[in-house]
């Protein structure tokens, strides 16, 4: 896959235009131990990603209850030379219900510190290239977060920091306390989840009053040269071959259009779905989470094409299911 110039490349040279999301590695979200088959799957996915030009791997401490990081760490233990070829990002801040309380978000210094230590241990690495705060914690205090970030950076355990699922007011609140820039914001964005686009399209239009996306976040990240990453980028394969019995008319129509464009551009359907995101001038870095090596390889073709303006709008309108205002 060709390397598209990303804001993140300022900090991570030659970072790939796509990120491989590791949420599906490690088996299920259960207490079953990691198996040899899980490790073999992780090896296959990492190999396919690297062969496809993807060198950025996205984790979170909670993915398959820690097993995603664990199997990835087994891959690195078997092949330690890979660490110098890749970038690793992980996230912290979501805590599931336990004997101490209900499901909650925790961006306290103690939990951030504990989470990073756990991720480093499971991943078999001395450092994270990027640490993200997974979701905004209503009880977060910027100065406390700044202190633990300084501690982790000074110790060489985290090189850069970012956020996930935050709007620009929350990002600005954190940034004013930090000495170093927040380098990325990961949001849900896809042909299916269009709020990040709709918010701007429906500016000043009452038809957009219920859009659940904060005005100005996209522009803030672009202005501050923050990398926008998209999770759920492939919409779980909804437009690229996933068998679903109750697809809406809009999904069926858009799937047909995706297939038509895939043939026209001579790429996979996954590449068309991702090319729609990449075509946006914010230079979005899509995160792909498939464990199907064929789909990973197919997705990597997205960087080889540029959708025309007309094709971009055709996909947008088709997935929306209505004409633009």
Kind plus residue range of the DSSP H or E element containing 67: helix 67-78
Q: Is 63 a catalytic residue?
A: yes
State the Cα–Cα distance between residues 276 and 111, nearest whole angstrom: 37
How far apart, in whole angstroms, are the C-alpha atoms of residue 21 and residue 265? Answer: 25
Following DSSP, what letter does each residue of 187-213 receive, concatenated? EE-SSS--HHHHHHHTTT-GGGTT--S
Token representation of residue 79: 């092949």
Report d(CA 160, CA 182) in Å as an integer.
Answer: 7
DSSP assignment of 146-159, as one string? HHHHHHHHHTTSEE
DSSP symbols for 90-129: EEE-EE--BTTBSSEE---HHHHHHHHHHHHHHHT-S-EE
Q: Which of 11, 20, 63, 87 is catalytic?
A: 63
CA dihedral 102, 104, 110, 116 (to 10 degrees): 110
Distance CA 73, CA 30 (A): 19
Beta strands 104-105; 56-58: pairing state: unpaired
Q: How far apart are CA 218 and CA 280, in angstroms?
A: 11
Per-residue CA distances from 89 to 35, 64, 260 (Å): 24, 16, 35
Report, as residue numbers or ranges, the catalytic residues.
63
């Amino acid at each position: 896959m060709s390397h598209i110039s990303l804001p993140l490349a300022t900090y991570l040279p030659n970072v790939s235009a796509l990120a491989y999301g590791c949420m599906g590695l490690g088996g299920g979200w259960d207490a079953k131990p990691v198996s040899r088959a899980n490790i073999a799957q992780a090896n296959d996915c990492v190999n396919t990603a690297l062969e496809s030009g993807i060198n950025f791997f996205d984790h979170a401490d909670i993915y398959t209850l820690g097993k995603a990081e664990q199997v990835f760490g087994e891959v690195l233990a078997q092949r330690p030379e890979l660490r110098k070829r890749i970038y690793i990002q992980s996230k912290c801040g979501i805590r599931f219900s336990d004997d101490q309380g209900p499901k909650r978000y925790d961006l306290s210094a103690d939990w951030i510190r504990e989470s990073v230590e756990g991720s480093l241990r499971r991943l078999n690495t001395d450092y994270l290239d990027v640490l993200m705060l997974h979701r905004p914690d209503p009880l977060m205090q910027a100065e406390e977060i700044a202190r633990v970030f300084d501690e982790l950076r000074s110790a060489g355990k985290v090189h850069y920091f970012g956020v996930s699922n935050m709007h620009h007011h929350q990002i600005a609140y954190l940034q004013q306390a930090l000495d170093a820039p927040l380098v990325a914001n990961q949001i849900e964005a896809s042909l299916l989840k269009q709020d990040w686009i709709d918010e701007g399209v429906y500016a000043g239009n009452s038809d957009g009053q219920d859009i659940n996306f904060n005005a100005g976040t996209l522009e803030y990240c672009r202005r501050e040269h923050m990398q926008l990453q998209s999770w759920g980028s492939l919409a779980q394969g909804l437009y690229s071959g996933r068998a679903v019995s109750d697809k809406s008319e809009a999904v069926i129509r858009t799937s047909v259009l995706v297939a038509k464009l895939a043939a026209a551009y001579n790429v996979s359907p996954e590449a068309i779905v991702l090319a729609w995101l990449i075509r946006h001038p914010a230079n979005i870095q899509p995160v792909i989470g498939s464990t199907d090596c064929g789909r990973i390889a197919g997705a990597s073709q997205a960087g080889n094409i540029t959708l025309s303006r007309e094709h971009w709008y055709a996909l947008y309108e088709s997935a929306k299911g209505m004409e633009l205002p």
